Chain A
Amino acid sequence: MNPVSKRLLFILAIIGLTAGILLSQLTNKPGQIAQTKTTIPGLLWPNPKQIKPFQLIDQNGKPFNLGNLKGHWSLLFFGYTHCPDICPTTMTLMNSVVKELSEEKETVPQVIFITVDPERDTQKHMTDYVAYFNPTFLGLTGTEEDVATLTKQLGILSMKITGKNPANIKDYLIDHSASILLIGPKARLIGIFSAPHDKTDIKQRYLAMVNFITSQDNQL
């Protein structure tokens, strides 16, 4: 075989291989096809992240771990009780969302507030804070390491910003992720609602995600 024919054969082989890979991707992955059927912003499909074990305590002092996420739809929000603006705004908004879902007899998620400030947000502090917004809400705290075990795997960031008076070690603010996360009944991260939050938008996307995931799981 002369060098020109060899080169032509090589090029044809590459084209064939590429076409084969593309074709197999289009036909062999049901998840991929399912993805093309949905356009829900914030939905993490077809590869929702499986949450790994973690250990925190709720506002009543009861352990809260991976098992407590299973079998429920959960909305997670990470913040801190000394946050005067975005945290109470988001908590109030989530209260309105679950109230409307309940009135409309839809699937109501458990709402979980997780502190990124375990130093100040003790269990007792969380009890009063969470109950103020909704007595059914859960408020989780733990050691810094325990909180980090969950935040790291969910991509939640937080940074302590020291106040103008460094002598007062309790005087600080925390920059933190403002997204609301949706966890499915199999403890998978199903969706992310990014700030700024809108009540109707979150409710509609939440319902769309619940319906989509439920239909996907039923096909298995």
Chain B
Amino acid sequence: MKQSLILLLIFCFAPTTHANENLIIENVWIREAPPMIKVWAAYLILKNPTDQDFILINAKSKAFVKIMFHKTEVINGIAKMQHVDQVVIPAHSSFKFSPGGFHIMLMGRKSPLKEGDIVKISLNFKDHESQEVSAVVKKTASGNIQ
């Protein structure tokens, strides 16, 4: 909330080029997986208050070998996981990575992780600066199972 207010103030006094405008990234978390599992998933919400579309092209983290974007779709009762090359966050809109929908697939966990750990993930955008986020390892999204 505080962060949102600060960002709002920045936007109010930003120069007309909007050089400082950026995405607001919230609820960044990684689902804790059983210890021997090397493929984990991260979730977050990307809010785009700017006048420009943002295109998320890839992500990197020192804690994992490789990161991809995937979408889980249930079609005729079958859960299908589909690779997504990039994710567009349209201007004045938001995009949600959430369980059962889009997820950030973290592959090849390098060292053990447990609930409460923080993992830094760098999100890279087309034509915009990268943003680093801190993901908290949790068993479930706060307050609900989904």
Contacts and interface: CB of A to CB of B under 8 A. Distances in A.
B79 A128 contact: no
B103 interface: yes
A176 B80 CA distance: 7
A178 B79 contact: yes
Contacts of B81: 83, 85, 161, 173, 175
A58 B109 CA distance: 27
Contacts of A179: 77
A89 B146 contact: yes
Interface residues of B, number: 27
A157 B78 contact: yes
Interface stretch (B13-21, B30-38, B46-54, B126-134): B30-38
Interface stretch (A46-54, A64-72, A143-151, A193-201): A193-201
Contacts of B139: 92
A195 B34 contact: no
Interface string B39-83: 111000000000000000000000000000010101001111101
A161 B100 CA distance: 18
A82 B79 contact: no
Interface of B: 31, 33-37, 39-41, 70, 72, 74, 77-81, 83, 99-100, 103, 105-106, 139-140, 145-146
8 contacts: A83-B81, A89-B31, A129-B37, A157-B77, A177-B79, A178-B74, A194-B77, A195-B100
